Amino acid sequence: MKTIRILFLLCLIPLLCGMGSLKGDSSFEKIPVPAKKFTVTFIDQADVITQCRDASIEGGTFIEGKRGEGTHAVSFDNIAYVLFHSHGGKLLGKLKLRDNTALELVLQKNHRAYGHTKYGTFQIKLSDLKKMVIGETSPPPN
């Protein structure tokens, strides 16, 4: 009986040790590096402005959201800015497109935006943003 308990504990230890990795990697040193480089100005709910280069959302340079039953992915190339607000428990993103049209999407609250500032790395949940202004692509590195 004692041997069974010891074997059970030995089998359980690796599982418990691995559970820490289920939270995902939120290290500020390891943020996604997008294939295409954009500069973005983030304005959070406290009106703090943060300018970033190499900005992304979950590592991609597009905003993904639901419109009706469909899922849209809109490239940063086509977006001038996004206004974020909560309504009925959902996070809405009002996209102002570069062709002067608008599009509203239901976004994932827990998705994160990432970028590099002149001080270091930056990350923020989309639900903590008020506005995101997408600038031009960054020049390629020398």
Residue 96 lies in a domain: yes
Which tens digits make up the pLDDT trace of 44-72?
Answer: 999 999 999 999 999 999 999 999 999 99
Residue 7 lies in a domain: no
| pLDDT, mean of residues 75-94 | 96
Residue 4 lies in a domain: no
Residue 80 lies in a domain: yes
Residue 6 lies in a domain: no
Please report, as a single letter, which amino acid is at residue 74. Answer: V
Alpha helices in 19-87 (DSSP H): none
| pLDDT, mean of residues 26-49 | 86
How many domains, the chain? 1
Residue 40 lies in a domain: yes
Residue 50 lies in a domain: yes
Confidence class of residue 1 from pLDDT cuts 50, 70 and 90?
Answer: low
Find the domain containing 77 and state its range: 31-137
Residue 10 lies in a domain: no
3-state secondary structure the chain: CHHHHHHHHHHHHHHHHHHHHHHCCCCCCCCCCCCCCEEEEEEECCCCEEEEEEEEECCECEEEEEECCEEEEEEHHHEEEEEEEEECCEEEEEEEECCCCEEEEEECCCCEEEEECCCCEEEEEHHHEEEEEEEEECCCCC
| pLDDT(101) > 80 | yes
